[in-house]
Amino acid sequence: MLDRHNHLSSGFIFVDFSFPNLRRFTDLQWADSLANSGMHIVLISDRSLTPLANYWILKSNKIQGIIYSDDDDIVQQQKMHRLFTGRLANSKRGRTLNYTEFILLKRFVSGISIQQIVNIDN
């Protein structure tokens, strides 16, 4: 029980994993930067960024869990209970970006045109 209390006392950062914040999530260091706070990272993902959120769940061991926008109330409560009792809630569902897709997204977000991307990759 003491371990669980200590887990809660370190706090949580709930990350708004939605389209307006897309540029942040193409930075390879964003999760490490938040992890430096010593708090537990939980993603709250909207439907459009679910594949990217799933990519980060696989990529970073700093992320403790993910709550999807279409999780029903019971699933959300179960995930919160898992997190607050020191367990992970990082089971992913749906599509996941692969590394190539992530790199393409990163380049698009940075303003590189399709023609420039083709030239870079050749």
The whole-angstrom separation of Cα 42 and Cα 12 is: 7
Residue 119 domain-assigned? no
Host domain of residue 7: 2-97
Which segments within 20-120 are labelled E, that is strand?
40-45, 63-68
Number of domains comprising the chain: 1
**Alpha helices in 36-98, H assignment, sequence order:** 50-59, 73-84
Residue 117 domain-assigned? no
pLDDT tens-digit profile of 43-71?
Answer: 999 999 999 999 999 999 999 999 999 99
For residue 2, name the pLDDT band (cuts at 50, 70, 90).
Answer: very low
Percent of the chain beyond pLDDT 70? 91
Residue 20 domain-assigned? yes
Residue 75 domain-assigned? yes
Residue 33 domain-assigned? yes
Residue 122 domain-assigned? no
Residue 32 domain-assigned? yes
